[in-house]
Protein backbone atom coordinates (compact mmCIF):
# COMPACT_ATOMS: atom_id res chain seq x y z
CA UNK A 1 0.00 0.00 0.00
CA UNK A 2 1.61 3.19 -1.16
CA UNK A 3 1.02 6.43 0.64
CA UNK A 4 1.08 9.69 -1.20
CA UNK A 5 3.10 12.52 0.29
CA UNK A 6 0.15 14.92 0.38
CA UNK A 7 -2.28 12.45 1.97
CA UNK A 8 -3.86 14.01 5.07
CA UNK A 9 -6.15 12.81 7.86
CA UNK A 10 -6.19 10.60 10.89
CA UNK A 11 -6.09 6.85 11.00
CA UNK A 12 -8.92 4.83 12.56
CA UNK A 13 -6.67 3.95 15.50
CA UNK A 14 -5.86 7.60 16.21
CA UNK A 15 -9.54 8.58 16.08
CA UNK A 16 -10.48 5.69 18.38
CA UNK A 17 -7.82 6.71 20.87
CA UNK A 18 -9.02 10.35 20.91
CA UNK A 19 -12.66 9.30 21.35
CA UNK A 20 -11.68 6.98 24.22
CA UNK A 21 -9.92 9.86 25.99
CA UNK A 22 -12.91 12.17 25.50
CA UNK A 23 -15.26 9.49 26.80
CA UNK A 24 -13.08 8.93 29.86
CA UNK A 25 -13.00 12.68 30.63
CA UNK A 26 -16.79 12.88 30.30
CA UNK A 27 -17.15 9.88 32.59
CA UNK A 28 -15.23 11.78 35.26
CA UNK A 29 -16.65 15.25 34.55
CA UNK A 30 -20.41 14.71 34.43
CA UNK A 31 -20.84 13.43 38.02
CA UNK A 32 -18.60 16.24 39.30
CA UNK A 33 -20.67 18.79 37.40
CA UNK A 34 -23.89 17.48 38.95
CA UNK A 35 -22.41 17.63 42.46
CA UNK A 36 -21.17 21.19 41.95
CA UNK A 37 -24.55 22.28 40.53
CA UNK A 38 -26.41 20.82 43.53
CA UNK A 39 -24.04 22.53 45.96
CA UNK A 40 -24.53 25.85 44.15
CA UNK A 41 -28.31 25.48 44.39
CA UNK A 42 -28.13 24.75 48.12
CA UNK A 43 -25.83 27.72 48.70
CA UNK A 44 -28.09 30.03 46.71
CA UNK A 45 -31.15 28.83 48.63
CA UNK A 46 -29.37 29.42 51.94
CA UNK A 47 -28.41 32.94 50.83
CA UNK A 48 -32.04 33.67 49.92
CA UNK A 49 -33.26 32.44 53.31
CA UNK A 50 -30.69 34.54 55.17
CA UNK A 51 -31.62 37.59 53.07
CA UNK A 52 -35.30 37.20 53.96
CA UNK A 53 -34.46 36.74 57.65
CA UNK A 54 -32.21 39.81 57.64
CA UNK A 55 -34.83 41.99 55.96
CA UNK A 56 -37.47 40.83 58.43
CA UNK A 57 -35.15 41.92 61.23
CA UNK A 58 -34.58 45.27 59.47
CA UNK A 59 -38.33 45.72 59.25
CA UNK A 60 -38.62 44.98 62.97
CA UNK A 61 -35.92 47.52 63.84
CA UNK A 62 -37.71 50.26 61.90
CA UNK A 63 -41.32 49.46 62.82
CA UNK A 64 -40.90 47.80 66.27
CA UNK A 65 -43.11 44.88 65.21
CA UNK A 66 -42.84 41.88 62.94
CA UNK A 67 -44.97 41.39 59.89
CA UNK A 68 -47.90 39.02 60.30
CA UNK A 69 -49.69 36.89 57.76
CA UNK A 70 -48.87 34.07 55.41
CA UNK A 71 -45.44 33.70 53.87
CA UNK A 72 -46.69 35.13 50.57
CA UNK A 73 -48.26 38.13 52.32
CA UNK A 74 -45.11 38.81 54.34
CA UNK A 75 -42.85 38.58 51.28
CA UNK A 76 -45.26 40.80 49.33
CA UNK A 77 -45.15 43.44 52.08
CA UNK A 78 -41.34 43.32 52.14
CA UNK A 79 -41.30 43.94 48.38
CA UNK A 80 -43.94 46.69 48.61
CA UNK A 81 -41.96 48.51 51.29
CA UNK A 82 -38.69 48.12 49.34
CA UNK A 83 -36.97 45.76 51.78
CA UNK A 84 -36.65 43.27 48.94
CA UNK A 85 -36.31 44.05 45.24
CA UNK A 86 -38.43 41.03 44.36
CA UNK A 87 -39.56 37.81 46.00
CA UNK A 88 -36.62 35.37 46.09
CA UNK A 89 -37.19 31.96 44.51
CA UNK A 90 -35.48 28.73 45.45
CA UNK A 91 -33.11 27.81 42.60
CA UNK A 92 -34.63 24.32 42.52
CA UNK A 93 -37.89 24.21 40.63
CA UNK A 94 -40.94 24.15 42.93
CA UNK A 95 -38.97 25.07 46.06
CA UNK A 96 -41.20 26.99 48.48
CA UNK A 97 -40.03 29.19 51.34
CA UNK A 98 -41.91 29.18 54.65
CA UNK A 99 -41.54 31.85 57.32
CA UNK A 100 -42.03 30.91 60.98
CA UNK A 101 -42.75 34.21 62.71
CA UNK A 102 -43.35 32.49 66.05
CA UNK A 103 -39.75 31.31 66.34
CA UNK A 104 -37.06 33.33 68.13
CA UNK A 105 -35.32 34.39 65.95
CA UNK A 106 -37.58 34.20 62.90
CA UNK A 107 -36.78 31.16 60.77
CA UNK A 108 -37.15 30.87 57.00
CA UNK A 109 -37.10 27.34 55.62
CA UNK A 110 -37.29 25.78 52.18
CA UNK A 111 -39.29 22.62 51.66
CA UNK A 112 -36.57 21.16 49.41
CA UNK A 113 -33.53 22.26 51.41
CA UNK A 114 -35.13 21.88 54.85
CA UNK A 115 -32.23 19.84 56.22
CA UNK A 116 -29.70 22.57 55.33
CA UNK A 117 -30.73 24.97 58.10
Q: What is the pLDDT of residues 10-44, one digit of tens each?
A: 889 989 999 999 999 999 888 888 889 999 999 99
Position with higher pLDDT, 25 vs 2 = 25
Predicted confidence (pLDDT) at residue 5 exceeds the cutoff of 90: no
Judge whether 79 lies within some domain. Answer: yes
Instruction: Domain count for the chain, please give it.
Output: 1
| Assigned domain for 5 exists | no
pLDDT value at 117 more than 50? no
Does any domain span residue 3?
A: no
d(CA 61, CA 3): 84
Domain that holds residue 97: 12-116
Q: What is d(CA 45, CA 91) in angstroms, rounded to the nearest whole number?
A: 6
Q: What's the pLDDT tens digit per position in 51-68?
A: 999 999 999 999 998 888
CATH number of the domain enclosing 67: 3.30.1300.80
pTM above 0.85, yes or no: no
Asked whether residue 26 is domain-assigned, the answer is yes
Domain-located, residue 40: yes
Amino acid sequence: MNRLKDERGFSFLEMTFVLAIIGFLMLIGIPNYKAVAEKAQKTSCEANRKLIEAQLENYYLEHHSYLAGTTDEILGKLVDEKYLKDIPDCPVKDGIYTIDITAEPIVVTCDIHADEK
